[in-house]
A and B are shown apart, each in its own frame.
Chain A
Amino acid sequence: MNEIVKDRAGLTRRGLLQSGGALVVAFSVPAGLAGTAGPAAAREPHRPLDPAALDSWIAVGEDGRVTIYWGKMDMGQGTDTGIAIMAAEELDVDVDVVDIVAGDTALCVDQGGASSSSGVQRSGVAIRHAAAEARRLLLELAAEELEVPAADLRVENGTVVAASDASKSVSYGELVGGQLFSHKLDWNGRLGNSLELAGTAQPKDPSEYRLVGTHIPRKDVPGKVMATMDFAHHLVVPGMLHGRTVRPPVAGAVPEAIDDSSIADTGAQVVWKGNFVGVVAEDEWDAIRAARDLAVTWSEPGPQLQTDTGGVHDFIRRAEIKSEEHTTDDGDFDGALAGAATVVEAEYEYPFQSHARMAPAFGLVDVRDGGATIWTDSQKPHSVRPGVADVLGLPIENVRAIWMPGPGSYGRSDADDGAIDAAVMSAEVGRPVRVQWMRNEGIAWDPKGVASVSTGRAAIDADGNVVGYHYGIKGFSRQNMRSRGDEAGSVLAGHLLGREPHNAYAARSPEQSYAFDAMRYTEQVIDPLLKVASPLRTAHFRDPMGMEVHFGQESFIDEVAEAAGADPVAFRLKHLTEPRDRAVVELAAEKANWQSRVGPNPDPGDGAVRRGRGIAYAQRNGAVNALVAEVEVNLETGEVYVPRFILASDHGQIINRKSMRTTLEGNLIMALSRTLFEEVEFDPEMVRSEDWATYPILEMAQVPQAIDIHMIDRTDIGPRGAGEASTRIVPGAVANAVYDATGIRIRKLPLTNAGVRAQLTGA
Chain B
Amino acid sequence: MTKQTFEITVDGETRSVIAEPDMPLLYALRGALEKKGPKFGCGLAQCGACTVLLDGEPIRSCVTPIDSVSGEVRTLDGLATDGTPHPVQAAFIEEEAPQCGYCTNGWMMYAVAMLEKNPDVSDQEIRDNFAGLKCRCGTHMAILRATKAAADAMKA
Interface positions of A (Cβ within 8 A of B) = 75-78, 217-218, 220-222, 224-231, 233-234, 265, 283-286, 288-289, 356-359, 405-410, 436, 438-439, 658-659, 662-663, 665-670, 672-673, 691-693, 697-701, 703-704, 707
19 A–B contacts, CB within 8 A, in A order: A224-B101, A225-B108, A226-B93, A265-B1, A285-B27, A358-B103, A358-B134, A359-B40, A359-B49, A406-B100, A406-B102, A407-B41, A407-B103, A408-B99, A666-B99, A669-B141, A691-B46, A703-B141, A704-B141
- B132 proximity list for chain A (CB < 8 A): 699
Within 8 A of A (CB), among B122-156: 127-128, 130-144
Given contacts A222-B93, A700-B130, contact A407 B102 (CB under 8 A): yes
Interface positions of B (Cβ within 8 A of A) = 1, 19-20, 23-24, 27, 30-31, 35-37, 39-44, 46-47, 49, 75-77, 79-80, 85, 89, 92-93, 96-105, 108, 127-128, 130-144
Task: Give the distance to chain A from B21, nearest Cβ to Cβ, in Å.
Answer: 11
Minimal Cβ-Cβ distance residue in B for A289: B20
For the complex, what is the distance from the CA of A409 to the CA of B137, rounded to whole Å?
9
Contact yes or no, B46 A692, CB < 8 A:
yes
- B138 proximity list for chain A (CB < 8 A): 665-670, 672-673, 698
Task: Give the distance to chain B from A398, nearest Cβ to Cβ, in Å.
Answer: 31
- A700 proximity list for chain B (CB < 8 A): 127, 130-131, 133, 140, 143-144
Minimal Cβ-Cβ distance residue in B for A663: B99
For the complex, what is the distance from the CA of A359 to the CA of B137, rounded to whole Å?
12
A-B contact count (CB 8 A): 172
Contact yes or no, A703 B144, CB < 8 A:
yes
- B30 proximity list for chain A (CB < 8 A): 234, 284
- A226 proximity list for chain B (CB < 8 A): 76, 80, 85, 89, 93
- A439 proximity list for chain B (CB < 8 A): 41-44, 46
Minimal Cβ-Cβ distance residue in A for B92: A225
Contact yes or no, B101 A76, CB < 8 A:
yes
Minimal Cβ-Cβ distance residue in B for A224: B101
- A77 proximity list for chain B (CB < 8 A): 99
User: 6 shortest A-B CB distances, which residue pairs?
Assistant: A669-B138, A224-B101, A76-B99, A76-B100, A666-B138, A408-B100
Residue from A231, A436, A704 having most chain B Cβ neighbours under 10 A: A231
Contact yes or no, B136 A408, CB < 8 A:
yes
For the complex, what is the distance from the CA of A672 to the CA of B137, rounded to whole Å?
11
For the complex, what is the distance from the CA of A395 to the CA of B93, rounded to whole Å?
44
For the complex, what is the distance from the CA of A699 to the CA of B107, rounded to whole Å?
12
Given contacts A229-B101, A285-B20, A662-B99, contact A697 B136 (CB under 8 A): yes
Contact yes or no, B134 A699, CB < 8 A:
yes
Contact yes or no, B44 A227, CB < 8 A:
no
Contact yes or no, B96 A410, CB < 8 A:
no
Contact yes or no, B96 A408, CB < 8 A:
no
Given contacts A76-B101, A701-B127, contact A233 B39 (CB under 8 A): yes
Q: A76-B99, A233-B40, A284-B31 are in contact. List 7 more A-B contacts (CB 8 A).
A: A221-B101, A225-B101, A359-B40, A436-B40, A667-B138, A670-B138, A700-B140
For the complex, what is the distance from the CA of A667 to the CA of B42, rounded to whole Å?
23
Contact yes or no, A225 B27, CB < 8 A:
no
Given contacts A230-B36, A265-B1, A439-B41, contact A670 B102 (CB under 8 A): no
Cross-chain contact of A438 among B43, B75, B102, B130 (Cβ < 8 A): B43
Contact yes or no, A217 B96, CB < 8 A:
yes
Cross-chain contact of B141 among A410, A659, A707 (Cβ < 8 A): A707
For the complex, what is the distance from the CA of A265 to the CA of B20, rounded to whole Å?
11
